[in-house]
Structure formats: C-alpha cells, structure tokens
Amino acid sequence: MGTKKIVVVMGGPSSEAAVSRRSGAAILAALREKNYEAEGLEFVPKTFSVDIQRLSPDIVFNAMHGAYGEDGRVQATLDLMGVPCTGSGVLASAMTMDKAAAKRVMLGAGISTPKAISCRVSERAGLRARILREMSVPLVVKATTQGSSIGVVVVKDAAELPDALEEAFSYGDEALVEEFIDGPELTAAVWGTPETCDALPVIEITTESGRYDYESKYTVGASHHIIPARISAEAMARTRETAEQTFRVFGCRGVARVDMMLSTEGVPYVIDINTVPGMTETSLVPDAARAAGISFADFCERLVEMAAAE
C-alpha cells in the first residue's frame, strides 16, 4: 500500500490542538518511513471539505484529538465525500466524546464504571448540596466533552467542589461528577473492529506529581508507563475483557484507548474511552504497541490498512 496518498489531519481550534499536531507529526514520519505519499493538513473547519478535495487523498489519517476529530464531525464530512478515514465512525465517536452519554451507554450495557451524577449549569443553585447528599468526597468532576484530562478536577474536600464545577462548566453546560476509585490507574489500547478486536498489553500509569493531568501526560519524565501492569493475573484478564467489551459496545474501529481504575476488590472501572488516542513520544498507545512487538511505523500502517478495508 506504499503508493497510497495519505493526508494526516491535525490541529484545529480545539483545546487539544497542540497535542494533535505532535501526534500528527509523529504519524507523518511513520508513514513516510513506510514509503507512503503522506502530507499533513492543518484542520480549518470552514475550508476542510475544500482542502480535502484539493489534496484528493486515498485515505485520511485522523490525528485530531478533541472537538471535530473525536466527536464525529470530521468523520461525517469524509463519509459524505466518500473518503476513507482511520478510526471509529460517526456514531461511536459522538457517543464516546460525550462523557455523560458514554456513561449512560456503559451503565445500560453492564460495563463497570464509577457511579456518577450529570449536572447542568442551569442547576447551579443548590448543586453542591445535592451532590454531597448523594455522594461523598473524594470526587472527580469532569467537563463532558474534553480530553487530555482538560477540565478534570479531583475534589478531596467538599469546599473545593464549587470551584471544580465552575472549571468544568467553563467548557460547556454539562458536567459529570463521579465517585473516586482509589487504586492503580490502568489503560488498555484495543484495536481492530467490533468483531475482531484485541487488547494490547495493559499499562499501569504512575506520575511524579500523583495526578495524571495534562502536564503529566505530555511532559517527558512526568509520568511512567509500567508494562505489564503490576496486577494479578485475574485482574489483568478482567481488565482486558472490560476494555474489549467497551470497544465492542460502542462499535469502535481502528484503535481506541480505554482508561480504567482498578478497585481494591480487583474490579476495573472504565473512566474514559478515547477514539483518537495520543500518538506522541510520551503517549500510551505507541508504548502498548511496542510492548506487543509492533513498531510505531508498522502500527500506523496497520491502521491505514484497516481504513482501506472498510
């Protein structure tokens, strides 16, 4: 497939644009190593369809984290144009990007996920009291449509709750308040199709700061990826099974990363699903692929081949 023309779409106006450009640059280098005619495209919403027509790619490699690239809008545009795209389709992308919607789907499918309350900005009055009636600290407050841990605050004291909610509401009119699962943070990249998916080696994440936030994710040396995760064989099997179940339930394709917290009882609780996971030098998915014996260039090529086969 080395003669195929690939356009790697990256950047754009989302809060994750800088990370997207780093992922895109790494993907471009990998595809060129594999002798593809690969070109980068900075995403501009108003001109995207015109840019794609001008470049006339055989396949688009979606490196757009966050808004547009991870919520289904880029996929929908490319579907209308008849251009294959790596990764999940419109519905899977839209459902997983909205954390509140994803929570409802997981609960309905019987996937273990932390108990949560969905809050609207219009309910701000009395919200703190309502949350503390139904849940106890520590809590995790999340903006529902952000990634890369943007808009996520761990609340360790009830007095911190109003500020955490305001932080989440600064990104949209809905916030998710989850129970805090005290245990190791795990992630499993799953790739393939809903019918043929397979989890790559499970990674345990530790950080220098004690928080896996934006800085820890994208600063070299700030976080550590332990492969294989230091968990029991039974917990490992449950974690892989949960990640693959989540991938299938949402109808993901290509690669998706399922983030989990392991409880003291050995239950993996899904806290997030990323359908356009990071591909930077500090990212989890390339590390998982390498642990499975797959080079980054080979991994990118396999994602292109999956898109071409759709």
My answer on whether 247 and 275 are in the same domain is yes
Query: Taking the model in full, what pTM does it have?
Result: 0.91
pLDDT band at 89 (very low <50, low <70, confident <90, very high): very high
- Token pair for residue 29? 């280098």
Strand partners for 119: 175
What is the biggest distance separating any 2 CA atoms in the chain, rounded to whole angstroms?
61
Same domain, 144 and 206: no
Q: What is the per-residue pLDDT across 191-249, written as a single tens digit (0 to 9) for each?
A: 999 999 999 999 999 876 555 444 545 455 567 899 999 999 999 999 999 999 999 99
CA distance 199 to 241: 8
Q: Residue 108: its pLDDT value, please? A: 96
Q: 3-state class of 185 per DSSP?
A: strand
Q: Are residues 273 and 225 in the same domain?
A: yes
Q: Which residue, of 86, 104, 137, is where some domain finishes? A: 86
Does 146 share its domain with 108? no
pLDDT at 224: 86
Residue 69 to residue 76: CA distance in whole angstroms? 10
Statement to judge: residues 24 and 165 lie in one domain: no
- Looking at the structure, tell me whether residues 169 and 200 fall in a common domain: no
- pLDDT score at 211: 54
Measured CA to CA, the distance from residue 308 to residue 6 in angstroms comes to 11
Same domain, 281 and 265: yes
Same domain membership, residue 280 and residue 236: yes
Do residues 194 and 304 share a domain? yes
Among 300, 278, 275, 224, which Cα is nearest to 18's? 278
**Do residues 288 and 191 share a domain?**
yes
Whose CA is closest to 259, among 251, 248, 250, 246? 246
Backbone angles phi, psi at 75, to 5 degrees: -60, -40
Q: Which CATH number does the domain housing residue 136 bear?
A: 3.30.1490.20
Residue 204 has a pLDDT of 96
Between CA 205 and CA 184 the distance in angstroms is 7
Structural domains of the chain, count: 3
Regarding whether 122 and 14 lie in a shared domain, the answer is: no
Mean pLDDT of the chain: 91
pLDDT tens-digit profile of 117-150? 998 888 877 888 889 999 999 999 998 877 656 7
CATH number at residue 81: 3.40.50.20
Residues 67 and 146 reside in one and the same domain: no
Whole-number pLDDT of residue 151: 73
Q: Which two tokens stand for residue 301?
A: 């090529």
Say if residue 256's pLDDT is above 70.
yes
- Kindly report, residue by residue over 261-277, the tens digit of the pLDDT: 999 999 999 999 999 99
Residue 306, pLDDT above cutoff 90: yes
- Average pLDDT (8-32) is 94
Q: Which of 129, 145, 179 is the last residue of a domain?
A: 179
Host domain of residue 47: 5-86
Give the Cα separation of 217 and 131 in Å (integer).
29
